Amino acid sequence: MSSPVVIVQPRLALEDPHDCTDANDMLALFDALFDGLVRYGKDGGYVPALASSWDVTPDARHWIFRLREGLSFHDGTPCDATAVCQSLTRMARPDKGYTLGAPGVWHQYLGDAEIEAVDPLTVAIRLSKPIADLLDILVYGYVVAPSALDRYEAGDTAQPVGTGPYHLVSYEPGHALHLQRFDSWHGERPANVELTFRLEPNREARLEMLISGQAQVANSLDFEASKALEETARHTRVTSLVPVAIIYLFNAFKGPLTDSRVRRALNLAIDRQALIDRVVRGAAKPLTGFVSPVHFGSLPSEDLRPDRDQAKKLLAEAGFAESLTIEVDCPTRLPDEAEALTAALAEQLAPIGVTLNVHRHTDREAYAHGVRLKQVRDMCVFDSSPLGTFRILAEKIDHRAQGSWWLGFHNAEAEDLLDAGRATVDPRERAETFERAFRALQVDPPWLYLYNPLRVTGLSGSWPDWRMRQDCVIDVTRLPDFQSGKRTS
């Protein structure tokens, strides 16, 4: 019997898959244990999972998914359209889809949808509004065996039963999770028979576990210390762009940041690469728009150099020629560098006459609730995580939705483009529409755009072709065969 492949990561817990999370370690577990109708493809986009194919009407309101034949859950019960609809309906409830500070993430899209099992192999979803990017939501629509739903309703998340490539063997809360390959999985058989996800919050310890052979995969390593892995052929160091944007949300309800000239001035004044080098020691890439370069319909950065003269001019036009004090809410974690970042930002803004008055928050969940309730000062440190461009526009930019992280911003052009994009099923045309929205939100920014972090993953052995998936989540089905040394496709 082969030894299990050990994956060591900073977070490990079994949670409800119908709640919303952007934590990559949690998503790696969900993707190992469950399937949705679709999965992320290795080179971007979506590929069939439980669904073998799908169609959408030209108005992007009516979707039909055809399931694979012979699907089964880990407990041996069949996975049919009724089971899929049960999970999607549960996911769409207003009390589900809970993420930090914001319940009902999925409800806003699927809450009034008609989700129907047309026959055992056909799922129909009829939407009240067009959503051409519905797969952005359904990729997180993990299907749970009906036999396990009562346990989840009772709060017992420690016994997951899905259809994913691995099934649960045992769980040691706070320590480890042991999985075995599910031989009835519909996809290409993963290379490794057994996996152990092990918790290790300390990144130096994770690196040492990899180097010493106690782990074959170590995630979220220190950017600088992990460079030691490149010194020999015994390990592989992979650096991936995290699609999470580190930003400051601007309060456009009241105060100086209601003026688009002030918002643009702050974006023009900063040297993003200098911030990255100082605060995160190079472990990020500059961000000059509302989504990352790997987002659908994004554009590459055109000019990263600060233009402080233009920033001063805009501030003067807005009535702040001499000075401007901005009240800043700053958490002590998530992002963990928030305090150092705010201090470095204050230094960069001082030459244009801007002073930051910082208010420190130690309770991160209370901080998130405060942002959701619009109880913020002029601006606050935050992040923006959905990989879907449509979702960010709909949840965070559109003033009509007044989403959890929306702070009074209104740009009619961007909202018109959102409406056009959500009803455009042709992906090329929709990408062009979102590119126009990207440009519009560079001219009139809702946030202070800073950077996308880089995440380092270490692997045992030499795997020069291995890459992280576009969402920066470990896909266990594409891990190398660590026992035989065989590369995966």
Sketch out the chain's domains with CATH numbers: 16-26+33-153 (3.90.76.10), 166-242+454-478 (3.40.190.10), 245-453 (3.10.105.10)
- Give the pLDDT band of residue 97 (cuts 50, 70, 90): confident
Q: What pLDDT score was predicted for residue 385?
A: 87
What is the average pLDDT score of the chain?
Answer: 95
Helix H or strand E encompassing 417: helix 412-422
Q: What pLDDT score was predicted for residue 99?
A: 64
Q: Which two three-digit tokens encode residue 52?
A: 């073998």
pLDDT, tens digit (0-9, with 9 covering 90-100), for 397-425: 999 999 989 999 999 999 999 999 999 99
Q: What pLDDT score was predicted for residue 60?
A: 98
- Give the pLDDT band of residue 1 (cuts 50, 70, 90): low
Q: What pLDDT score was predicted for residue 486?
A: 63
Q: What pLDDT score was predicted for residue 406?
A: 95
Span 326-344, mean pLDDT?
96
Q: In whole angstroms, what is the distance from residue 185 CA to residue 47 CA?
A: 15
Which value, in Å, is the radius of gyration of the alpha carbons in the chain? 23
pLDDT, tens digit (0-9, with 9 covering 90-100), for 166-180: 999 999 999 999 999
Q: What percent of the chain has a predicted confidence (pLDDT) above 90?
A: 91
Span 237-245, mean pLDDT?
97
- 483 pLDDT above the threshold of 90: no
From the CB of residue 363, how many other CB atoms can be counted at a distance below 10 Å? 11
**Nearest CA to 289 among 304, 277, 276?**
304
Span 50-68, mean pLDDT?
98
Span 305-320, mean pLDDT?
97
Q: What pLDDT score was predicted for residue 100?
A: 60
Q: The pTM is what?
A: 0.95
- 103 pLDDT above the threshold of 90: no
Span 104-116, mean pLDDT?
95
Lowest mean pLDDT among 113-127, 143-157, 225-239, 292-306: 292-306
- 488 pLDDT above the threshold of 80: no
Q: What pLDDT score was predicted for residue 426?
A: 98
CA 225 vs. chain centroid, Å, equals 25
Helix H or strand E encompassing 443: helix 427-443
Span 449-468, mean pLDDT?
96
pLDDT, tens digit (0-9, with 9 covering 90-100), for 357-383: 999 999 998 999 999 999 999 999 999
- 164 pLDDT above the threshold of 80: yes
- β-sheet bridge partners, residue 235: 460
Q: In whole angstroms, what is the distance from residue 120 CA to residue 152 CA?
A: 24
Q: What pLDDT score was predicted for residue 365?
A: 87
Q: Report cis status (omega within 30 of 0) of the bond before 464.
A: no
Q: What pLDDT score was predicted for residue 487?
A: 56
| 70 vs 483 pLDDT, higher one | 70
Span 63-74, mean pLDDT?
98
Q: Which two three-digit tokens encode residue 194?
A: 């057994």
pLDDT, tens digit (0-9, with 9 covering 90-100), for 5-23: 999 999 999 999 999 888 9
Listed in sequence order, the DSSP H helices in 75-202 are: 81-91, 107-110, 135-138, 146-153
- Give the pLDDT band of residue 125 (cuts 50, 70, 90): very high
- 462 pLDDT above the threshold of 80: yes
